[in-house]
Amino acid sequence: MGSVTRKPLIAGNWKMNLDHLQAVAFVQKLHWTLKDAGHEHDTVEVAVFPPFTDIRTVQTLIDADKIPFALGGQDLSTKDSGAYTGEISGAFLKKLDAGYVIIGHSERREYHHESDADVAAKVQAALRHDLVPVICVGETLEQREESGPTAVSVEQLKVALEGVPADADVVVAYEPVWAIGTGQVASPEQAQEVCSALRAVVAASLGDEAAARTRILYGGSVKSGNIASFMREPDVDGALVGGASLIAEEFAAIVRYQKHVGV
Ligand code: PEP
């Protein structure tokens, strides 16, 4: 299961930050920072995940200025339409040219009590609308101490992939809860151990071909200073970045990890 054909993906999860006006300034700044640095988008894919209220604006800007960023939602409904106040359909995201949607982020699991079954239903909803689900899994510190580093993520991913066809395009993000927004980053070896176990789950669920092409990201306090050490690991194909994705220069430096550390 070599990593040669997997294009690295650096994804910025803005969470509930940047309104639609701030989003315009941010995307322009990120674009120009990468352009000035000579970033070649065919080497590393860049994706941004703004709040729902920004997506139309960001899509218009990306479209008008031919900015080569992929766009995604931070969540979606399990339903496609109907009387579900406050929910957002995958169909609406697709209509705004979103290619991705984050599913099962630990903040949704914790604050909105999303279960593994909810996550699985959202994965199905994403696939129905031709969106690539970015399936987030990861353990708390207590779970790591109780059941080891891989058990929780492996189980979460197994459930999320139930009923997913072998040819589906999915992205997996390993985000240890204890490393998200805490500054307490996992070591590259810890990330590799879990990402490798997750690739084995993709192989068991979707087959070897899917496992070889599926991108598995690490997320949790990623910064320009540590990204290269993760990207050296054979089963880490990119990063899901929270806090550092809100600073254009810093996020651009993460995208350009190959340049500043020579991976
Ligand atoms: C995240 O929330 O997906 C995340 C990885 O956050 P941070 O980079 O801030 O730890």
Number of domains in the chain: 1
Measured over the CA atoms of residue 67, residue 233, residue 15 and residue 250, the dihedral's sign is negative
Question: Which pLDDT belongs to residue 212?
Answer: 98
36 three-class SS? helix
Crossing angle for the helix pair 20-36 and 248-255, nearest 10 degrees? 50
Among the residue ranges 34-38, 73-77, 111-115, the one predicted with the least confidence is 34-38
Band (pLDDT 50/70/90 cuts) for residue 261 is low
Band (pLDDT 50/70/90 cuts) for residue 247 is very high
Instruction: Say whether pLDDT at 3 is over 80.
Output: no
Question: Has residue 140 been placed in a domain?
Answer: yes
Instruction: Say whether pLDDT at 200 is over 50.
Output: yes
- Rounded Cα–Cα distance for residues 210 and 214 (Å): 6
Ligand 1 pocket test, candidate residues 9, 13, 100, 236, most atoms within 8 A of CB: 13
**Annotated catalytic residue within 31, 45, 105, 107:** 105
Domain CATH for 40: 3.20.20.70
Question: Has residue 2 been placed in a domain?
Answer: no
Report yes or no: 131 and 99 within 8 Å, Cβ to Cβ.
yes
pLDDT over 90 percentage in the chain: 91
Contacts for 173 with CB less than 8 Å, ≥ 6 apart: 11, 102, 134, 135, 136, 137, 216, 217, 218, 219, 240
Distance from residue 139's CA to the centre of ligand 1 (Å): 14
- Residue 176 CB less than 6 A away from ligand 1: no
One-letter amino acid of 20: H
Ligand 1, atom 3, lies closest to the CA of 242
Note the pLDDT tens digit of each residue in 151-198: 999 999 999 999 999 999 999 999 999 998 888 889 999 999 999 999
- Residue 13 CB less than 6 A away from ligand 1: yes
Question: Which pLDDT belongs to residue 128?
Answer: 98
- Rounded Cα–Cα distance for residues 20 and 12 (Å): 16
Instruction: Say whether pLDDT at 262 is over 70.
Output: no
- Residue 186 CB less than 6 A away from ligand 1: no
175: annotated active-site residue: yes
Question: Which pLDDT belongs to residue 108?
Answer: 98
What's the average model confidence in pLDDT over 242-255? 97
C-alpha 150 chain-centroid distance: 19
- Residue 219 CB less than 6 A away from ligand 1: yes
241 CA closest ligand 1 atom index: 8
209: annotated active-site residue: no
What value does the mean pLDDT of the chain take? 95
Question: Which pLDDT belongs to residue 181?
Answer: 80
- Residue 220 CB less than 6 A away from ligand 1: yes
What's the average model confidence in pLDDT over 25-39? 96
Question: Has residue 1 been placed in a domain?
Answer: no
- Residue 73 CB less than 6 A away from ligand 1: no
Question: Which pLDDT belongs to residue 180?
Answer: 86
Distance from residue 230's CA to the centre of ligand 1 (Å): 15
173 CA closest ligand 1 atom index: 3
Question: Which pLDDT belongs to residue 260?
Answer: 61
Ligand 1 pocket test, candidate residues 240, 247, 254, most atoms within 8 A of CB: 240
- Rounded Cα–Cα distance for residues 163 and 159 (Å): 9
Question: Which pLDDT belongs to residue 23?
Answer: 98
Write out the residue range of the structural domain in which residue 108 sits: 9-261
One-letter amino acid of 177: V
Question: Has residue 150 been placed in a domain?
Answer: yes
Distance from residue 220's CA to the centre of ligand 1 (Å): 5
C-alpha 27 chain-centroid distance: 18
Question: Which pLDDT belongs to residue 263?
Answer: 45
Distance from residue 80's CA to the centre of ligand 1 (Å): 28
Question: Has residue 75 been placed in a domain?
Answer: yes
- Residue 238 CB less than 6 A away from ligand 1: no
Instruction: Say whether pLDDT at 219 is over 60.
Output: yes
Question: Has residue 4 been placed in a domain?
Answer: no
Contacts for 31 with CB less than 8 Å, ≥ 6 apart: 65, 67, 69
Question: Has residue 101 been placed in a domain?
Answer: yes
- Rounded Cα–Cα distance for residues 172 and 200 (Å): 12
Distance from residue 158's CA to the centre of ligand 1 (Å): 23
Question: Has residue 135 been placed in a domain?
Answer: yes
User: In a 10 Å sphere around its CB, with 0-12 CB exposed, 13-18 middle and 19+ buried, how is residue 74 labelled?
Assistant: buried
